[in-house]
Amino acid sequence: MADPMRIRASMQGDKVLVRVLMSHEMETGQRKDESGSVVPAHFIQSVSAVHNGKTVLSAEWGPAVSKNPFLQFQFAGGKLGDKIQIIWTDNKGDTRTDEATVS
């Protein structure tokens, strides 16, 4: 089970600003390890953010997104105390969902 994300959701005026740090190797499949074998590709392919049952962001990622990815976006219609979920799925089918409260 992958490590938890660090999600910060705050009110900026009337928008909710969301900042996410994810823990993921984002391995490109190009690198070789010490013994010379290729380290297989392992990267987050899709990300979505959900607020009150509605998707507020969706993304497709490739391995060129940096290791331990960062994501920031903002949307209208949220308020203090609301919950935001971030879901990622990687090319191996691993997935992680974390939730934060708008504060």
Backbone φ/ψ region at 13: left (φ over 0), alpha (ψ -120 to 50), beta? left
To another protein, the closest distance from the beta carbon of 81 in angstroms equals: 18
To another protein, the closest distance from the beta carbon of 90 in angstroms equals: 8
AA letter at 14: D
Q: Which parts of this chain interact with another protein (CB under 8 A)? A: 3-4, 6, 15, 19, 21, 23, 25-32, 39-41, 45-46, 54-77, 89-93
* Distance, CA of 16 to CA of 12 (rounded, Å): 6
To another protein, the closest distance from the beta carbon of 25 in angstroms equals: 6
